[in-house]
Structure 1
């Protein structure tokens, strides 16, 4: 039976068995016989060391899943109530799996947790107990593929993420659907997911805040720039500066279908280091072979210094700007590409994020309509 299919009683039994193994045979770990609530999800568990009269008790909250929003809106109020009633009772969550962000929130609040993959945190002052172990960083297959949950994976998610990052709130789901060309049903489902992760905040139907930095990070984690995308490697016999010069000399229509991303684009705002591969998003209507000939490039299987990435979605060209006669992707697209890229690119992506944070007035639109007017295509 998969861990996510366990009922609350089975989750409790397996969780306490795992905790008992971690503490060792000298510890007594058991629920109080009279402690189970009518809901079957809150249980008082005693922890006592052999030969020691002191003990502590945990209010164990058993959950099918735990999101950052649940931590903020449900578990934190419960913790505050527990501390008002009995400061020696600690709150512990047992669940099939916890994401890293949720674990961090729980630790910051002083809430213990244990999941079925080995992520455990328990800190008690009396008797002194400190347990911390790390388990799975990704959701088990059965948890990750809940049919009712819309995720940040795929090109459609990129479109909505770009819009949420590039435009200042407030706005509504219907405005985002109209501006992105996505269905209102899809946008609404993904917004529900983002709200659960505290990446957006809503008041009724109005989105009034977007955590755009962590939103971009969360989307990038769902992608791999080279593994999940087809690309063609090239070598530039005359060097990359010569390639850039050739690109700027192309006809206007061809120029519109090329956008620089990756290290060479990141250098413009966050020059961590020089060099790196020149990565180009290429519109679907451009011939890669003809473009390579025009730029004097030779196809290679290894050690490429230029990469052609055929664009999976036109969104990669939204918000492009020209520098030196060549289009560069918008900063939000640059971050998505760098964080999902190989080598030093994730570090460059973080540096671009820091630049964006201190120059928000330069790149973030004040309304969805303003953003639409400034699109390149």
Structure 2
């Protein structure tokens, strides 16, 4: 195992080399003696043959949570500008999230990560670099071992509760409703606070940035994981299939599908509220007590490897059906789940997810629930 000091030194070397490669051979990037005990390096950057140069104080860090930007980097750069207008701050990290990058840009802090996300703007000499790299953290990117991430079904439960139910919240209430362990809930809330997705006063959650929370969750997951779905063709079309689903038995009996074990998500769920495009693949979560092959036979679906217009997805967790509702006899996931799945889906689906988020921001009364509503998890057979 590498020591933290060795990891930081290697990260710094990789970042400086990446900056030099971006600027090209006509620029010089020189590391100068660093008298600061706060920052990791001092770089001098100049074009060859030009006496004008800029200085970059470097913060090399393994993780850049938004809270770190707001509470540590912003005060540092404000103080730096009071002392020297010509010295800039550069953050180097293995990966920087889109939310953290936006905060850095807003505060005039340069950044560079090893996946290719770069934002550097210097007035003298004129340097403007803006590049987009990975939107999701690579598996190789180090994580703080003590931090719980937004990946996995358990995190999905907590995200749905925080998005759908307005604060205030207590960790003990979330633990009780979600059926997750209290230590796990507490660890994930710490992570969300670091990412500025929630705000707390003492032990009480007072504010939830639910739209950004759904986006952050989508960055940590994928709707169409390998092996998590099967593709089919509906011989009579999607609309005819929806009518068939509405006529399925209400209870599980002799291998037939229970109607409440199927729930529409993705594009068709989003199109109940917004119309970015027409059609798309019909995506259906299939509850764990149902057999996908039996269900496909019952509905007359033809399994295909390409060109599917129907996808049957293994339900990753029963909470994807939390507050699902029936329309014309067919169950649809709640808007927050539909938005989350679209954001984590392929093709045009993220655009549909963003459009649905805009609708949800304008019409919270159509999907957010009262704190006094009785919160019960979906039925599990």
TM range (shorter): 0.7 to 0.9
Q: How far apart, in 1, do the equivalents of 2:280 and 2:18 lie?
A: 47
Q: Does 1:372 align with 2:370?
A: no
**Partner SS for 1:143:** coil
CA spacing shift, 1:371–1:153, aligned 2, 3 Å: farther
Moved more, 16-25 or 246-255: 16-25
How far the C-alpha of 1:11 sits from its partner, in A, is: 4.2
Counterpart in 1 of 2:275? 271
**Partner SS for 2:375:** helix
How far the C-alpha of 1:174 sits from its partner, in A, is: 1.4
**Partner SS for 2:162:** helix
Q: How far apart, in 1, do the equivalents of 2:18 and 2:276 lie?
A: 45
Q: Does 1:335 align with 2:339?
A: yes
CA spacing shift, 1:217–1:21, aligned 2, 3 Å: closer
Q: Does 1:37 align with 2:40?
A: no
Q: 1:348 aligns with which of 349, 352, 355?
A: 352
Q: How far apart, in 2, do the equivalents of 1:175 and 1:169 lie?
A: 11
Counterpart in 2 of 1:176? 174
Q: 2:287 aligns with which of 283, 286, 289?
A: 283
RMSD after superposition: 2.8
In structure 1, stretches of 5+ residues that fail to align are: none
Is the 2:267–2:280 Cα contact (8 Å) retained in structure 1? yes
Q: How far apart, in 1, do the equivalents of 2:18 and 2:306 lie?
A: 47
Q: How far apart, in 2, do the equivalents of 1:184 and 1:205 lie?
A: 13
Is the 1:258–1:280 Cα contact (8 Å) retained in structure 2? yes
Counterpart in 1 of 2:246? 248
Counterpart in 1 of 2:311? 307
CA spacing shift, 1:141–1:333, aligned 2, 3 Å: closer
How far the C-alpha of 1:81 sits from its partner, in A, is: 1.0
Counterpart in 2 of 1:153? 151
Is the 1:336–1:349 Cα contact (8 Å) retained in structure 2? yes
In structure 2, stretches of 5+ residues that fail to align are: 252-257
How far the C-alpha of 1:75 sits from its partner, in A, is: 0.6
CA spacing shift, 1:143–1:84, aligned 2, 3 Å: same
Moved more, 131-140 or 212-221: 131-140
Q: How far apart, in 1, do the equivalents of 2:323 and 2:57 lie?
A: 51
Q: How far apart, in 1, do the equivalents of 2:116 and 2:297 lie?
A: 54
**Partner SS for 1:274:** coil
CA spacing shift, 1:267–1:87, aligned 2, 3 Å: same
Q: Map of 1:185-264 to 2, 5 A cutoff?
A: 185-253=183-251, 254-264=258-268
How far the C-alpha of 1:180 sits from its partner, in A, is: 0.5
Q: How far apart, in 2, do the equivalents of 1:286 and 1:225 lie?
A: 19
Listed one character per residue, the Cα deviations across residues 100-142 of structure 1 (whole Å, up to 9, x for unaligned) are 3322321221111233444433322123233344445444544
TM-score normalised according to structure 2 size? 0.87
Is the 1:3–1:96 Cα contact (8 Å) retained in structure 2? no
How far the C-alpha of 1:169 sits from its partner, in A, is: 0.9
Counterpart in 2 of 1:79? 77
Counterpart in 2 of 1:361? 365
TM-score normalised according to structure 1 size? 0.88
Q: How far apart, in 2, do the equivalents of 1:110 and 1:225 lie?
A: 35
Q: 1:320 aligns with which of 316, 321, 324?
A: 324
Is the 1:36–1:42 Cα contact (8 Å) retained in structure 2? no
Moved over 6 A (4+): 1-5
Q: Does 1:90 align with 2:88?
A: yes
CA spacing shift, 1:290–1:104, aligned 2, 3 Å: same
Q: How far apart, in 1, do the equivalents of 2:224 and 2:7 lie?
A: 40
Is the 1:4–1:143 Cα contact (8 Å) retained in structure 2? no
Moved more, 136-145 or 121-130: 136-145
Q: Does 1:6 align with 2:6?
A: yes
